[in-house]
A and B are shown apart, each in its own frame.
Chain A
Amino acid sequence: MLNDSFRFTPHITLEFKIGEKDFFIAGESASRVKKTLQQLGMKQEIIKRTAIIIYEAAMNVAIHANHGTLKVYIDPEVISIITEDKGPGIPDIELAMKEGYSTASHEVREMGFGAGMGLPNIKQCSDELDIDTKVGVGTTLKAKICLNNKV
C-alpha cells in the first residue's frame, strides 16, 4: 500500500490568477495550455475540449466573481481543470446549467459575453464535472478529461 501511494506519476500543474473583469486571462491561459498539450502530443480532440473548458471556466470567474485562480493538472491519465473563486456563488446550479440562462450584468452582455453557454459548454466538454458552491462565499469548479478511455 505504501508502495502504491509512492508510485511516481509524472505530472505538471499550470496556475493562473484571475482578477475581477480580467477578460484577457481566459484567452491567454487557454492558448498557453493548448501549446503545452500540443507539445505533449495530446490528441487534437482532447486539446480542443480542454481549451474550451479553460476559456469558459476562467471567463465565468472573470465575469461573476471577485477574483480566483485557475489550475490545470496534467498527467498521462487525466487532465483536471480547477477554478476556485471568491464571489457570489451559484444559488441554483440546475438553472445555471441550462443553455441560455445567465446572470451576467447588462454591461458584460454588451461586451459580447454572458450568453449563458458557459456551464453547458463545460459540461459537454468534460468527462466529469463537479461544482461546489456557497452563496456569498464562492465557487469551486472541477472538470476532468480522461485520456485513456474511448473516444
Chain B
Amino acid sequence: MTEYFHSVTLDFEKCKGCTNCIKKCPMEAIRVHDGKATIMQERCIDCGECIRCCPNHAKIAVTDTLDILSEYKYRIALPAPSFFGQFKELENADCVLHGLLSIGFDEVFEVALAAEIVGYLVHQYIKDSKIKRPIFSSACPAVLRLVQIKFPDLLEQIAPILTPMEVAARLAKEEAVKKTGIDYEDIGAFFISPCPAKVTEMRNPMTTKHSAVNGVIGVQLIYKDIIKYIIKEKTQKVSSTLQKATKLGMAWGYVTGESKNVDASTTLAVSGIHNVISLLEEIERGELKNVDFIELQACIGGCVGGPLNIHNLFVGRVRLRELIKKCGSRPSYYTDEELHRFYTQGHYVSTEPVQPKTIMHLDEDMSIAIMKMERLDKITNELPGLDCGACGSPSCRALAEDIIRGIAFETDCVIKLREKVKTLAEEILDLARIVPPVMADSSKKTGDK
C-alpha cells in the first residue's frame, strides 16, 4: 500500500480540465495541469467537495464492490444511519435491513446501534474528563484529517472514542463468532457508506491500528437492488424484525443527531467543511471554552449530505426524520448496565492518538523558508489578484506558492502572459521603426538640417 491512499480519485477520461474543483477544495489540494486535474495526495482529506461540484462527474470515490463478499464465509452489512433516508415512505427500517440480506449478506448490524454506544461513551468521557473544552466529536474522518493538518493544536480535544462504524464492525463480528462458531477471520463486516472518507479511514485508520471493517461499499452500488426488494416486499410482508437501533442512534444520520445523543450540558453542531474551518479558527484563538461538546461534520447537513448518497440532503433528512417518527420510542437494545460496562472496561477507546501532519512547510531550514516566503509575497503582489484559476491553481497566492515549489511558472498566469506578449510586441514594433542607415530617407535627413 502506498503512503497515501485516498478514496477520492480522478476519472482521467471524464476530466475536461475545467477549474471548478480547484476553487471548492478546502485544502487547496487540486491543480489543473496539462488539461487534467491532479489531486495532491498529501493534502487531500477525502471530504468529497470536488465530487459534488464536478460538472463532468470526473471526481469519483473508489469503494469496494459486492465482489468482496465472496472472500468471507459469513458476511455482515453495516448500514449507515443516513442510508435509511434514501428510501421513500418507509414504514420501518426492517424492509431495508431485509433487503440487505436479500443481496448476499448473512446478517445486518445497524451502525445506528453502535452510534448509541459511542454517544454514551462520549457523554461519560465529557463528564469525567478534565480536558480542555470544547471537546470535539471523532466520528467524521474528513474532519479528523482536517484537524490533523490545519489545527494540530486542537487534536488533544478530540474525544478519544472510535467511530460508530468501527464499533459496529467489532460488535457485529464478536456476536457473529458466538452465534455461528465461525472463525473471526472468516467473518467480514461491510459498511454501507455515503462517504468516501470512511473508505480511507478503513484502509488507513487514524485512531486504531487495524480496522475491523473489511470493506466499504458505496450506497449507489446497492441502491437499486434494495429498492427492488422494497417494492417486492410490499406484497409479501416480512415477518421477523431486525431493527434494534432507537431514534437516538438513527438521528446520527443528520447533523445535531450526534450532539443530542451525547447529551452534554452545552453542545453545538456544525456541518459543512468550510463552516467547520471557520469555527475551528475561532476556537483556536480561545473562543467557546464554555461549550462542552461540538459535533463537527464535513458534509452540509451531516451524513445525509454525503457525496455517495442518491438523494438531495434535505430529501434524505426529511425522510429519515419521518422514519424516526414512525419508529416511535422503543427501549434501548443495550441496557444502562451494559453501556456502563463498555465505558468502565475501556471498550472502544481509540488506541492511537491522532498525530499532527506537517505538509505546508516551504523548507526544512527556517532561514531558507523565510527567504522563500519573501519571494512568495513578492510574486503574489505582482500577480493580478483576480483569483481566476485559469492558471490551474486555486488563487493567485496558491500560484505563487506553486512557483516557489517549482511546479508552476509565472507565465502560467494568462494576465501575466498577455502583459509579456504586449511588451514583446511593443519592442518588436520599436525595433521595426528603427531604420538601418543605408535605408534612411536622404531627403528627410537634409530636411532635418
Segment at the A interface, from B214-222, B228-236, B363-371: B363-371
> For residue A41, which residues in chain B have a CB less than 8 angstroms away from its CB?
358, 361-364, 366, 369
> For residue A35, which residues in chain B have a CB less than 8 angstroms away from its CB?
360
> For residue A34, which residues in chain B have a CB less than 8 angstroms away from its CB?
284
How many residues of B are counted as interface, with CB atoms below 8 angstroms from the partner's CB atoms? Answer: 23
Q: Does A18 contact B (CB under 8 A)?
A: no
When chains A and B are docked, how far (Å) is the Cα of A75 from the Cα of B370?
7
Q: For chain B residues 351-380, which have a beta carbon within 8 Å of chain A?
A: 356, 358, 360-364, 366-371, 373-374, 377
Contact with B along A5-43 (1 / 0, CB 8 A): 000001110000000000000010011001110111110
Q: Does A44 contact B (CB under 8 A)?
A: yes
A27 to chain B, nearest CB (A): 7
> For residue A74, which residues in chain B have a CB less than 8 angstroms away from its CB?
370
> For residue A75, which residues in chain B have a CB less than 8 angstroms away from its CB?
370
When chains A and B are docked, how far (Å) is the Cα of A41 from the Cα of B373?
11
- Most A CB contacts (10 A, CB to CB) among B285, B363, B364 go to B285
* A39 & B282 in contact (Cβ 8 Å cutoff): no
> For residue B362, which residues in chain A have a CB less than 8 angstroms away from its CB?
39-41
Q: Does B331 contact A (CB under 8 A)?
A: no
When chains A and B are docked, how far (Å) is the Cα of A12 from the Cα of B372?
10
Q: A38-B360, A39-B362 are contacts. A44–B370 as well, Cβ < 8 Å?
A: no
* A44 & B356 in contact (Cβ 8 Å cutoff): yes
Contact with B along A32-73 (1 / 0, CB 8 A): 001110111110100110011001000000000000000000
* B153 & A76 in contact (Cβ 8 Å cutoff): no
When chains A and B are docked, how far (Å) is the Cα of A44 from the Cα of B151?
9
The dominant DSSP class at the A interface is helix
Q: Does B437 contact A (CB under 8 A)?
A: no
* A76 & B358 in contact (Cβ 8 Å cutoff): no
* A39 & B361 in contact (Cβ 8 Å cutoff): yes
Q: Does B272 contact A (CB under 8 A)?
A: no
When chains A and B are docked, how far (Å) is the Cα of A55 from the Cα of B173?
50
A151 to chain B, nearest CB (A): 16
* B285 & A52 in contact (Cβ 8 Å cutoff): yes
Q: Does B152 contact A (CB under 8 A)?
A: yes
Q: A39-B369, A44-B356, A76-B366 are contacts. A12–B285 as well, Cβ < 8 Å?
A: no
Nearest opposing residue in chain A for B287, CB measure: A112
B132 to chain A, nearest CB (A): 12
> For residue B370, which residues in chain A have a CB less than 8 angstroms away from its CB?
10-12, 40, 74-76
When chains A and B are docked, how far (Å) is the Cα of A35 from the Cα of B397?
12
Q: A41-B358, A48-B284, A52-B286 are contacts. A10–B367 as well, Cβ < 8 Å?
A: yes
When chains A and B are docked, how far (Å) is the Cα of A120 from the Cα of B374?
32
Extra contacts besides A42-B366, A51-B285 (13): CB < 8 Å = A12-B377, A31-B281, A38-B358, A38-B360, A39-B360, A40-B373, A41-B358, A41-B363, A48-B153, A48-B284, A55-B285, A76-B370, A147-B366
Q: Which residues of A approach B to under 8 Å, CB–CB?
A: 10-12, 27, 30-31, 34-36, 38-42, 44, 47-48, 51-52, 55, 74-76, 147
Q: Which residues of B approach A to under 8 Å, CB–CB?
A: 152-153, 281-282, 284-286, 356, 358, 360-364, 366-371, 373-374, 377
